[in-house]
Amino acid sequence: MFSRAKAGNFGAILTCMIMAALLATPILRAQEQDRTQLRLQAMALEQKGQNSEAEEIWAAMVKADARDAEALAHLGLLSAREEHYVDAIDYYRRAIAINSSLPGLQMNLGLALFKVGQFPDAIKCFTSEIKKHPGDLRLTILLGMAHFEMKDYLVAIPYLQRATERDPQSLALYTTLAQSCLWSKQYPCVVKVQQQLVALKEESAEVDSLAREALDQMHEGAAATEQQK
């Protein structure tokens, strides 16, 4: 059992601990209020296009708390706006390591990776996002374009086909699809793209040229088959 002296010391220590906790609570609340005000101020500056001022606030918040994922994500966004994509990638990855569930973070990382030509990593981000948002047109286009840039034309074709179905007025998508079909030797696919444009009453000299090349290849293939008989 405690002696009276020891019990008195224990009681004094406990009282000090309670008082310290009570004194710390208003300080923590004040810090949280300050953070909320800074966050709102930075976001308001972003909306006004005052990026450098907003960046200063987010950077100060990260300096105060290196694990502030939201502030890191916003620094990434502002760096991307300034086309400093390498810096943006670093901020996004730091934010993801702390809190990967922040909305839009994977998408923004994928876009920055796409911009610097890191297509395999960009595809990983877009694939992760399209699982959460199946059928998303923007993600479908980005996946198609990323595979196209990697010369994975066969893989790109299904994404680009779905994209043209969702956005039938985009001549650029049809052209990229026709190129993917031709360069992966899917010649009937090229002709089909041209026929779709004709049905839409759209004209494209480039797609017409690709279709002629595809028809030539199909005729040559048919002639070669006849010769082998």
Query: How would you write the pLDDT of the chain (229 residues) with one tens digit per residue?
Result: 445 555 556 555 555 554 444 444 443 344 566 888 888 999 999 999 999 999 999 999 999 999 999 999 999 999 999 999 999 999 999 999 999 999 999 999 999 999 999 999 999 999 999 999 998 999 999 999 999 999 999 999 999 999 999 999 899 999 999 999 999 999 999 999 999 999 998 889 999 999 999 999 998 765 445 445 5
Report if residue 190 sits inside a domain.
Answer: yes
Report if residue 27 sits inside a domain.
Answer: no
79: burial class by Cβ within 10 Å (0-12, 13-18, 19+)? Answer: buried
Domain count, the chain: 2
Report if residue 109 sits inside a domain.
Answer: yes
Residues 92 and 127 in one domain: yes
Report if residue 145 sits inside a domain.
Answer: no
Report if residue 34 sits inside a domain.
Answer: no
Whether the model clears a pTM of 0.75, i.e. scores above it, the answer is yes
Q: Domain containing 112: what range?
A: 51-134
Domain boundary among 104, 134, 164: 134
Report if residue 23 sits inside a domain.
Answer: no
Report if residue 60 sits inside a domain.
Answer: yes
Distance CA 17, CA 24 (A): 10
Distance CA 8, CA 183 (A): 86
Residues 122 and 192 in one domain: no
Residue 117's closest CA among 97, 75, 145, 87? 145
Residues 122 and 196 in one domain: no
Report if residue 104 sits inside a domain.
Answer: yes
